[in-house]
Amino acid sequence: MKHPITFVSIVVSLLALCPTGGLATEAALGRYTVGLFAVPGAGIVPPSPNVYWQSSSFVYSGSAAAGLEIPIGGTAQFGISAEVIATAMTGLWVPDIKLGDNLTFAISGTIPAGYMKVDAALGPLGASDHVTDIGDIMVAPTIGWNEGANFISAALRIYAPTGGWEKNALANIGLNYWTFSPTLSYTHLVPQQGIDFTVVAGLDINTENTTTDYTSGLLAHVDAVLSKKFENNVGIGIFASALLQLTKDQGGPLVDRLDGFEGRSFAIGPVLTYTGGTKEKPVNFSVNWAPEFGVKNRLEGNAVYLNIAGSF
């Protein structure tokens, strides 16, 4: 049976949640966590002018090795563990602009908010901290192209330091620096079989946190997902994700002692999707679980993502 393309489903990845990451690369968790963009259809930009919406939720629980020094607020902390519950609301606008054959322009904006609880075994900032606050907003101009069953999109995700952040806090929802993340996505569809193969790759370029004089290094991340959609509109799949820090952090004697605090993380996990709503106004659901492994200089744990997307 041929499975029709529901373009609203790709809003899940175009508008994907920017995680609320008060524990940054500066503190072992940042804008991206493995599995964040592991959503089928990420390379497709909706060709029809419209306004799309998405609600994204993110739950993360992780900890660092007891002996790992983690720079937070300009000081070193040990025995860090964290729990994060975050949500984000996103709107994506596809204007009626003709760029050329098979080209589509879109722009999105995201406002996240969340709760974070952080515990530290040792350190001058105390043993525990928690916060509920607004996170850093994100905007993303995007260009999409397609030819037959192949779709490519290029986006520049821009994260602004608008969220709550305090230097002497263990837990922060905002990060207090800008991030520019060029992202390239590719999707190949086999509609007759309901097959979707998608790859999303990006670079996170971080500016200096001028309060702590700390600059997190360049991060590369990639998500690949293979999924199959069945006749009952339920889909299942598997994804693999990787995060690699390409350059060392910079920030004075503390970072020098930590040898640049370069990090990495990997995950392999399942993806579940479902399309509900009506034919004219479909609503798409996506859930994936990302258990981390092979982690260095970051928190290690589990993340669960829930995305719901539709159109007006």
Tell me phi and psi for residue 13, to 5 degrees. -90, -35
pTM for the whole thing? 0.90
What is the domain range of residue 194? Answer: 7-201+220-242+263-311
Residue 257 placed within a domain: no
In the structure encoding, which two tokens stand for residue 243, read together? 């995060």
What is the count of structural domains for the chain? 1
Give the per-residue pLDDT at 76.
72
- pLDDT (tens digit, 9 = 90+) per residue, 252-276? 787 888 888 889 999 999 999 999 9
Give the per-residue pLDDT at 19.
54
Give the per-residue pLDDT at 71.
78
In the structure encoding, which two tokens stand for residue 185, read together? 């996505």
SS3 of residue 254 by DSSP: helix
Give the per-residue pLDDT at 1.
47
- Cβ atoms 207, 216 nearer than 8 A: no
Residue 251 placed within a domain: no
Mean pLDDT in residue range 40-65? 91
> How far apart (Å, rounded) are the C-alpha atoms in residues 241 and 222?
6
Residue 24 pLDDT level (bands cut at 50, 70, 90): very low
pLDDT exceeds 70 at position 240: yes
Residue 144 pLDDT level (bands cut at 50, 70, 90): very high
Report the CATH number that the domain containing residue 32 is assigned in CATH: 2.40.128
- pLDDT (tens digit, 9 = 90+) per residue, 188-200? 999 999 999 999 9
Residue 136 placed within a domain: yes
